[in-house]
Amino acid sequence: MFNVFAGRDASKKQDDTYRDEDLGNKQRVRIVILGTGFAGLGMAIRLKQQGYKDFVLLERASDIGGTWRDNTYPGCACDIPSHLYSFSFALNSQWSRTYSPQSEIQAYLQRCARRFGIIPHIRWNTELQDAIWQEDKRLWQITTSQGTLWTDILILGNGPLSQPSLPNIPGLTQFEGTLFHSAQWKHDYDLTGKRIAVIGTGASAIQFVPHIQPLASSLTLFQRTPPWILPRLDHAITARQKQLYQFLPIIQRLIRTRMYWERELTALGMVYRSKMLLKAEQIAHRHLERQVSDPELRTRLTPRYAMGCKRILLSDDFYPAVSQPNVEVVTEHIRQVEGKNIITEDGQTYEVDTIICGTGFHVTDTELPHHIYGREGQSLADKWRNGPEAYYGTTVAGFPNLFLLIGPNTGLGHNSMVYMIESQLTYILDCLRIMNKRNIQSIEVQSNVEETFVKEMQRRMKGTVWASGCVSWYLDARGHNTTLWPGFTFEYRHRIRHFDAQHYTLLPSEKSPARAINTSK
């Protein structure tokens, strides 16, 4: 996916500079954005609205959508209500259901790109191979599959759910049948009559299993930890409602606001008072009891950890699907894969034709940081060798003029990520405004400020439900939750509503006689 710099001397990167006359207009742009999902596209739209024209988006694929382009498995849909899962500045009155299917979300993003004139700014089929901060020029040198360009500002909008993760099972990649990840669905492969194994029972698996179960001659579901599942209660949005939202957008906005606050209350239980989730646990238990009559199967599907410690899932059809005669739920760990056989720790062998991995993504150990180099040639991966860290999940000490969207500690377990993204967009725009106003060429968050923030995040995590003992993709290799925001989303928005220049080192343009500005002094 990315170039590997085996054996390259980091110090040499700083010497790979070009003469100023080599930086023609075709190679240099003011702002480069990576990705065209909600984060990257949202950033581009807000830039356009503020009058910026000199920016490009690097998109590795040939279409818009990010995770909503890549995940096309049967039943793929959002688990945040449609009205809430959209830009505040571009409400969609035509959602077909309470919870939007994947195709509608991607179509929505495509319409937004056309509506706001973003398409001409996108460089399609362009893979970022490396990005190196050149200190002497105060520019990012970016190498892509389509050539090299230089930029003042680099914004990573690729998101945390972009690199599929396969489980570390001996022999898996040598499986003699058909193997694929749910985010790389093989639509040309007919599952009818196949002996299917599904590894994982996360958010993707509970959506696609009900759709493939009727096709399979047998379906073996390998479950490591049962998820907490609440009723989805999805339903169609009527034509009359769509007309109402179209002609009276205030109605849809009021519904959106109500949904936001309903979900925001969930943070009380996750962060401050975990006992408040006991009622939700009771609802989940009743949901399981109503839909699964077999007591042995029900026991296998019953979570043994506090609700919210792992991602809470929504489904009305998963339990009925796994209760069918052609489905077996296996809780023994997989020892290895041999030929077309999956062998579990208890010695049982399951012969299958197909393995589908619903095993999520690399979140805290993604590949991209290995290809982002800041001051003195340090890679973002080296900076994050003990776990991802960033000031408000947006800026990183040692990496001037670099912004992250959906960075560390900005994820949510209860509300819409679009809200968090838009909060970050406001912060970045205010930073750019200050840079323009003061003739600032580069900004960099002070290391002590970043360290203080990171310590605050981990201190606040200690009393949350996410620290109650389960293992989840929220945690990094140290067991630290570097993924989620430990509080209300309105607190996060309030704290970054303005760019706090006093926490940054600001370097004026070389044309200015002023020295570096450390605004904390």
Give the position of tokens 């950890």: 305
What's the gap between Cα 443 and its chain centre? 25
- As a whole number of angstroms, the distance between CA 408 and CA 389 comes to 6
Give the position of tokens 């500690």: 409
All residues at 6 or more sequence positions from 137 whose CB lies less than 8 Å from its CB, including other chains: 17, 20, 150
Closest CA to 328 of 197, 459, 235: 197
- Comparing 15-24, 194-203, 436-445, the range with the smallest average pLDDT is 15-24
Helix runs in 213-294, H state only: 239-247, 249-264, 266-267, 278-291
Is there a contact between 288 and 228 (Cβ–Cβ < 8 Å)? no
Given a cut of 50, whether residue 393 has pLDDT beyond it is yes
- What confidence tens digit (pLDDT) does each residue in 181-209 have? 999 999 999 999 999 999 999 999 999 99
Given a cut of 90, whether residue 11 has pLDDT beyond it is no
Is there a contact between 403 and 394 (Cβ–Cβ < 8 Å)? yes
Closest CA to 298 of 326, 277, 329, 327: 329
- What confidence tens digit (pLDDT) does each residue in 167-177 have? 999 999 999 99
User: CA 168 → CA 199, 333, 334, distances in Å?
Assistant: 12, 12, 10
Query: What does the pLDDT read at residue 445?
Result: 98
Domains and CATH numbers, the chain: 28-163+363-518 (3.50.50.60), 172-235+243-357 (3.50.50.60)
What per-residue string of b and e applies to 462-480 under the rule 16 or more CB within 10 Å gives b? eebbbbeebebbbbbeeeb
* Enclosing H/E stretch for 437: helix 417-438
Q: Which residues pair with 306 in a beta bridge?
A: none
